[in-house]
Amino acid sequence: MDGQHAVSIRERVKLPPSRIMIETHWKPKMSYALRHGFQNELWVHVVHAKMLEKQGIISPAHLEAILGALANLAERGPDALEIDYTIEDLYSYTERYLARTLGPDVGGRLHTGRSRNDLGVTTGRMILRELMLDVMAALSGLRRVVFDLAERHIETVMPGYTHWQHAQPITLGYYLLSYADLLQRDWQRCMAALRSTNLSPLGAGALAGTSFPLDREYTARELGFDGLVEVCYDAVSNRDDGHETAAALAVLMTGLSRVAVDLQTWSTLEYAFVELGDEHSSVSSIMPQKKNPASLEHLKAEAARVTGAISAALAASKNTTFAEISDGVTGVDLPARDAAETTGESLRLMTEVLEKLTVFPERMLHSARIGFGTATELADVIVTEAGLSFRMAHNIVATVVSKAIEQGRRADEITAADVSEASRELFGQPLQLSEVTLRGALDPVQNVARRTVAGGPAPDVVAAMIARRRPALQHDLDELAALRARVDEKRATALGAARAKLAA
């Protein structure tokens, strides 16, 4: 029997797909599948075939022939499939290849107990798993760099801001530790999404499973999954793994974008707190003095792209029936994958930016000294030294600050006499605050050192918090490495079994 013509892949329709259908849908879909899905799908085929033989559904001879053909396909690569866009997906070309190579009787047995529905969402989850493992590796690199930079700057005093205004003095290390904690929560969100993704739909069939005695737990285990999407209908009808992934990545990129805004602001002449490395900057074609923070602007734009991806992923499913349907299920793939690819690249770029960043501690400290971020500490000292209520002290300091600004004076030019006069004007009693006490209250370095409350910016407190967080980072890295190793080992085992059959 001629294997090339004995079976049909496109039985129900008589005409080939239209040109516009090919160019706008099937061709882009196939291009991505060939780049990212080919090896994953071969892995699924090998494991499914081995399971069929183990369960007595196909014979050992059939398994040997199928594995040999799959190994040959793996060696030859995607070009062996002769893509002509007359059929719509990667598996259909693979099945046509098997039928032509082995004949329809043997080549047609691989798809026993399986649908393109469960096959498609299985390989889709495997692709997303690979992308998320890459994201997590990039995220771990950024977390390490942020910790290292924070540790170097636990005594680099700078203004802290609320509403873009000087608020209270902090340190750059304290700011970065805040970002490190956000990144740890990003890690937890991404790991939760990865665990949701790393469940196997294989064996669910079109929607209701099959009467063949499949061993779904075996295929899940051999494909590196943590377990099953157990209910067959659920397995092929829902892609909340993609929704959850895109959501976690959108949150991550939002935080990254906010830090990029700060770095861009701090790199201006008005602040001059930091300077980006030349390798992360651009120039003007007309203005010779310009050094533009191109990397940061790119990162903010990429964050917007990922924010759009979660909207696209949810919108693809929102108005679809609760069942297997292309827009609601496979329509989630592209935005979720784009979000993962974009995020991984952005994390690596931000890591580089921070590694090459030049910090100017003296400029940060100068800004903290001349601004009025120490006003809160001055009010606290008045409460402690004079016994006034905090609200009264707040009124006094607000009056002192207002007058200093009106007179063009800086925070470090406020005197004890200014405080006493404001108290007399407001409450009819002067204050006897010494100049030494006043200077201490207005010193941003002492301000920071005094804030030893749990979670405060005092250098010793920050150093201790960083030390406590280092083991958690290592635990996360170990967990990621174990998952990565398990996936790699299962892939190598499966494809190695196929190659062994070819060599025999």
Give the catalytic positions in this structure. 163, 284
The DSSP string of 221-265 is HHTT-SEE--SHHHHHH--HHHHHHHHHHHHHHHHHHHHHHHHHH
Q: Cβ(138)–Cβ(344) under 8 Å?
A: yes
The residue type of 441 is A
Q: Is the dihedral of CA 188, 190, 192, 194 positive or negative?
A: negative
Q: Within a 13 Å sphere around the CA of 124, how many CA atoms are in the beta-carbon half?
A: 30
Q: Cβ(157)–Cβ(169) under 8 Å?
A: yes
Helix (H) / strand (E) containing 168: strand 165-171
Region of 379 on the Ramachandran plot (φ > 0 left; ψ -120 to 50 alpha; else beta): alpha
Q: Cβ(4)–Cβ(100) under 8 Å?
A: yes
Note every long-range contact of 19-22, with CB atoms under 8 Å and residues 24 or more positions apart, other chains counting: 22/85
The residue type of 353 is V
Q: Cβ(202)–Cβ(48) under 8 Å?
A: yes
Q: What is the dihedral of CA 28, 34, 35, 38, to 10 degrees?
A: 150
